[in-house]
A and B are shown apart, each in its own frame.
Chain A
Amino acid sequence: MRLFFATTAMGIVLAGSAFAAELTVGAANVTGYVDPGRDHSNVGSQFYYNTFDTLIEKNYDKLQGEFRPGLATEWKLVEPKVMELKLRQGVTFHNGEAMTADDVVFSLNRMYQATFPPYQVRARDRLENFEKAEKVDDYTIRIHVKREEPLWETLLNLQQVMIIPEDYTKGLTGDPKVAENDDFEAFSLKPVGTGPYAITQLVPGETLVWERYDGFWGEKAPLDKITVKHMPETASRITALKTGEADLITNIAPDQLALIEADPALKAVGSATALFHVMIMNVNHPVLKDPRIRQAMSLAIDRDTLNEALWLGKAIVPASHTMEEFGPLYMPELKTFEYNPEKAKQLLQEAGYKGEEIVYTTFPTYYTNGLLAAQAIVEMWKEVGINGKVNVVDKWTGGDPDMMARNWSNPMYFADPFGSFGVMWAPKGPSESEGRFNTDEAYAEIWERFRFSKDIEVRKAAYAELMERIRQDPPMLPLYRPYESWAMNKNINWAPKPGHIPYVLDFRAGSISFASN
């Protein structure tokens, strides 16, 4: 009885045939605005890559960075702290305007010299080292950094420095010659980029529609139209896929995979997302001041069992805060975190732990399996004698001095330890600033070497030192890289590409196709 929906299901036809190729995506979350600059959320990251381009592209089929020309065709350092980039000619924005150096300089400086507060916030944690961009001629620009930058390509490949049109943006509100805050606010509801799909409809939080942009500079998009609809309930999403209301759905928890596999018309693909679910511990909480208590909290957690039970063994349990995507800086040999209940018991005894209640706070639904993991962790604590309690709140409590332990995530914002561990745990970064993590001069000195050395080996050694500091006085424990799945009709060939940051819905040429059946 798929009868009622035969018409919607018919929407998908072979690419290249005379019919329109359309796709309906059922997403657990649809973004409330589309502005790659101010955003680094998991919800938003789904939507940027189809719509916008960066100056430097990457081969996303590969796990590790293999950079290639994007809106810039070539780039070279002209001075130790100045990069010159040649821009691609003949690129147009979705509104028809040609892209020139002015647009690129505007886009970069909206972050590098941000005046709009949401941009300032996003720029500070990752683009602090970038001073300014300037125009040389219509198709040449220069970027100045404050200190020599070892991560040029990586940081020019960021979602935050995707290119947007200058005149269009400035003209949205007020004075068309000036970039006011309201212009950026307006842009986020009427986004325009250079990507293969243009956003033709945005009902914030509910619906987003992409249509193929025929003026795209690269290989034309394979789909005519993609409609992303908000379907918050897991059961509804799966049902929608079965009834043909959706062709592809996001965020399927491992427990639901069996449902997809049981239906011969459907399939699921997934990957261990480049993101850690972490447990953070407040090093300044009176009960947790002794690092041995926090070590015990960490040693008591059997992450492999969590993985087996909650993720069907498909998640990745890390030995350190490290990911394969980091390339040469991937250091699985570091043994920063382990499971050792005996040692946990011993440390608790040495620290003189007297059964004070330790509260583990969790969001109710924000992280897949977050609430289940919280309950399981507290039970594991009980095994070693920690008197734990689960506290469910839908507020962020990371800056609350009473917070003892809670769940959080450390996404890989870009493929470098700096883009994952670094964003969250830098000296004076968010964690320290929220008062639950302390750094000292020694930490800052190691950090300097890790962040700015141009010698990979020096960076590696420094990172190992940082991890050793984390091991001895732990402010957190990465639990696992969660396994995320997408489900779709069998005739769709789509899978998340390993080179992307988490959750990107990539429907560009070469990323999606339809099997003939």
Chain B
Amino acid sequence: MEHESRLERWLRGIALALVVTFFMFPIVWIVLMSFQTNETILRMPPSLLFTPTLSNYEALITGRLVSNAGVLEIEFMSNLMNSAILSVGSVTIALLLGVPAAYAFARHQFRGSEDIAFTLLSFRFAPPLLVLLPLTLYFQELGLADTYVGLIWVYQLICLPLILWIVRGYFEDISPDVEYAYRISGHSWWATFRDIALPLARPGIAAAGLLAFIFAWNNFIFALVLASADKQPVTVGALAFVTASGIQYGQIAAAIVLSIAPTLALALYAQRYLVEGLSLGAVKG
């Protein structure tokens, strides 16, 4: 493979440039768009030369959109807040419930443990609407329809299996001998779990938590079906915003940028965790 001809190097370079262009262009273009007024956006042919403006972001942050058609109230900031509450809440709960369960599955071969673990995993792959549609009717009866609690509970469908399986893999990779020795010297199982097992599995817990956060943030269908207007996260809010504001393209672009910025920043910051998490431990880089 060392003997690469010049032609080959050129072709490889061109192919890579095309790949990067295809995958980066939409993000770059939307970011550029978010700094333009509607006037420059609508100008044909599209141009990279424009005076950047912060007015789109201002309108979103102050929540008031002044246009020819009058003043439009935007709830977008509360959508961002909802996304943060739902994602952080779901991941916290999923970690509290999932890490001990993952430890139990990794360390104890108890009756039905594999079946239970597989059932939990298969939730990850069932069509979400199958559960969501009946739940809309239950949520009304239970009074959960308009609460964060109800949504965070349903978000466990995404977060819990992910955390359970990734963290379980990490616990299984750690030899139980250290824990065994610690136990022999008279510590309780809880102290062993807290002082030995948890710190050793920390990278796995971080990877799983990060991935669960991103999936929760990016989720669309759960909130679309179950969330009332004032509990909607950005994914649903942005779509509603497109319908409501119609032609305010600059603001739509700015709303999209604000919505995807948190997950993209997290991904770049912690990319080394992502790869293993994404493949559910199928590949060790």
Asked if chains A and B come from one complex, the reply is no
Q: Residues on B close to A: CB < 8 A?
A: none
Q: Residues on A close to B: CB < 8 A?
A: none
